[in-house]
Chain A
Amino acid sequence: MKEITKDLLREISEWNGEFKGAYNIREDGACVGRVSSKNIRIESKKDQPGLEIFIAANTKGETVSIPACVTHGDVDDLVYNDFYVGENADVVIVAGCGIHTETGEPARHNGIHRFILGKNSKVKYLEKHIGTGHGTGLKSIDPVTEAELDENSVLEMDTAQIGGVDRTLRKTAAKLGAGAKLLIRERILTEKDQTAKTEFCVELNGKDSGVDLISRSVARDNSHQGYHSVIIGNAPCTGHSECDAIISENGKVDAAPELHAHDTDAALIHEAAIGKIAGEQILKLRTLGMTEQEAEATIIDGFLS
């Protein structure tokens, strides 16, 4: 494993020389380390690049990590990872991607993740994306996530991309069965000339299914972000989405939430707020002894925490 990969791993996952539990480390499109556990089996796909991850029914408290790193320019990595989560399992999946370039050539990682959650299973999915290095080549991360949640399963997604990535197109789609719950917490910070687009499509198909989608974004400098969410209530269900954005300098944010209530007992709500940091917030922190710059950094830090 390259030193750059180690640096990236420390940033994007809890790696400190080793992983707890099952893992697979992907470096520039190749596998540089894999360990399965008794309950979590990781296998290479036969027909496509990527992995099949089988989590046995009733597995409790285990973690599986599948970070991907791109360490130089002129790489276009495409990977398909499928997760099969057994009934009643309760696990943590740590994904994440780091891209490093020192040259003018572009580097891209495109991870396509599918989650099939069995009845009553519970998954916490953590994903952190970063870009590092002084290369001028565009660093792109384009994740696609598809999830199918069977009865009473819970998927909690916590994703963060705090700067460094030049181009991002994130697509997240989910279908929920009866009683299933999906919680998404996404944080994106773009700066310089970066762009990030995020698209969500959640179908609430089962009775009492629910989604809570919270997106926080900060667009600074000349960066541009787009947010598009579609929540479709096909059954008695609850849906809530919240898009909160702070813009500074010439940052731009487009937000387009869509709600489709296709059942009279579908209760769907959307909240959106885009604007500069409130002047009052900066004033308050300055009265605590902070400079204007320190106040802004503190507000943004908190907002994206």
Chain B
Amino acid sequence: MLKLENISWSTPDGTPVLKDLNLEVPDGKSVVLTGPNGGGKTTLAKIIAGIYKQDNGKIYFDGRDITEVDITERAKMGISFAFQQPVRFKGITVQKLLELAAGKKLERDVTCDILSKVGLCAGEYVNREVNATLSGGEIKRIEIATVLARNSKLTVFDEPEAGIDLWSFTNLIHTFEEMRKSMDGTIIIISHQERILKIADEIAIVADGRIKMSGAADDMMKSLAENKSIIGRCSKQEALF
């Protein structure tokens, strides 16, 4: 289980972003975080991965207090994070990056398997460098593939749908559903997409640095449909419905 207690975080110039936020994610569940732009979702994900250090609050993972545990150690404990904005590496091939992620050499059929989950054909990509020549959608899919390769206890996807074409999106949804069925791992997906909300066990709305509302996905979908104002100033509201 992942548990965040009274987490707060301010920007370097002192603007509060996360305000006394509390969140519990039970094992084996898929939780979708949604909410307005700038509400604090990515910040929350970075706090979970250890990339940002909270000013206050506690984080527990698998029964252990990981508040002071660094990024590397959290990764080793089984926390994975697919970046909203993937990072590029000159000279590192897709194959190599997947191997770095998996922590071992990968046979061709394994790489192929992972890449096909994000709708990429291994033959065309394994030897490509993860550099600026990859398109936005390609790099995004490779980013997702790197966390799939890790097969972690907890995986956080930050807007996995962004920039991904419709066909690959369907594939991706399928992959998430598979993960949900087959893994005892936990997934947190940050998303603005209704189709992703629909595969969630639970939905939490992050707005203004807090969990504004959360609950079982069915109930949450209903409340959202009835009361669009829950999202408040969500500029991507149309994407939800």
Binding partners A and B: yes
* Interface residues, chain A, with chain B CB atoms under 8 Å away: 216, 244, 278, 280-281, 283-292, 298-299, 301-305
Interface of B is mostly: mixed
Proximity string of chain B (65-103) to chain A, C-beta cutoff 8 Å, 1 when within and 0 when not: 000001110011001110100110111100010001101
Proximity string of chain B (128-159) to chain A, C-beta cutoff 8 Å, 1 when within and 0 when not: 00000000000000000010001000000000
Proximity string of chain B (40-66) to chain A, C-beta cutoff 8 Å, 1 when within and 0 when not: 000000000101000000000000000
Rounded to whole angstroms, the CA-CA distance of A292 and B70 in the bound complex is: 11
Contacting pair A289 B75 (CB below 8 A): yes
Rounded to whole angstroms, the CA-CA distance of A286 and B49 in the bound complex is: 10
Contacting pair A280 B87 (CB below 8 A): yes
Contacting pair B91 A289 (CB below 8 A): no
Contacting pair A281 B75 (CB below 8 A): no
Rounded to whole angstroms, the CA-CA distance of A244 and B75 in the bound complex is: 30
Most chain A beta-carbon neighbours within 10 Å: one of B70, B92, B96? B92
Rounded to whole angstroms, the CA-CA distance of A288 and B76 in the bound complex is: 8
Contacting pair B51 A298 (CB below 8 A): no
Which residue of B is nearest A283, CB measured? Answer: B51
Total number of B residues with any Cβ neighbor in A under 8 Å: 23
Contact of A286 among B71, B103, B146 (CB under 8 A): B71
Contacting pair A288 B101 (CB below 8 A): yes
Contacting pair B75 A288 (CB below 8 A): yes
Given A289-B75, A302-B92, A302-B96, A284-B87 contact (CB < 8 Å): yes
Interface of A is mostly: helix
Tell me which residues across on chain A come within 8 A of B72, comparing CB atoms: 286, 289-292
Tell me which residues across on chain A come within 8 A of B49, comparing CB atoms: 287
Given A287-B49, A287-B51, A287-B81, A244-B87 contact (CB < 8 Å): no
Contacting pair B96 A287 (CB below 8 A): no
Contacting pair A288 B90 (CB below 8 A): no
CB distance from A243 to the nearest CB of B (A): 13
Tell me which residues across on chain A come within 8 A of B75, comparing CB atoms: 286-290
Which residue of A is nearest B91, CB measured? Answer: A302
Rounded to whole angstroms, the CA-CA distance of A147 and B24 in the bound complex is: 67
Tell me which residues across on chain B come within 8 A of A299, comparing CB atoms: 89, 92
Tell me which residues across on chain A come within 8 A of B103, comparing CB atoms: 288-289
CB distance from B155 to the nearest CB of A (A): 11
Contacting pair B90 A302 (CB below 8 A): yes
Rounded to whole angstroms, the CA-CA distance of A299 and B130 in the bound complex is: 12
Tell me which residues across on chain B come within 8 A of A216, comparing CB atoms: 90-91
Which residue of A is nearest B74, CB measured? Answer: A287
Tell me which residues across on chain B come within 8 A of A301, comparing CB atoms: 91
Rounded to whole angstroms, the CA-CA distance of A281 and B89 in the bound complex is: 7
Q: Which of B159-216 contact A (CB under 8 A)?
A: none
Tell me which residues across on chain B come within 8 A of A298, comparing CB atoms: 92, 100
Tell me which residues across on chain B come within 8 A of A287, comparing CB atoms: 49, 51, 71, 75, 79-81
Tell me which residues across on chain B come within 8 A of A292, comparing CB atoms: 72
Contacting pair A303 B91 (CB below 8 A): yes
Tell me which residues across on chain A come within 8 A of B79, comparing CB atoms: 287
Rounded to whole angstroms, the CA-CA distance of A301 and B51 in the bound complex is: 24
CB distance from A62 to the nearest CB of B (A): 27
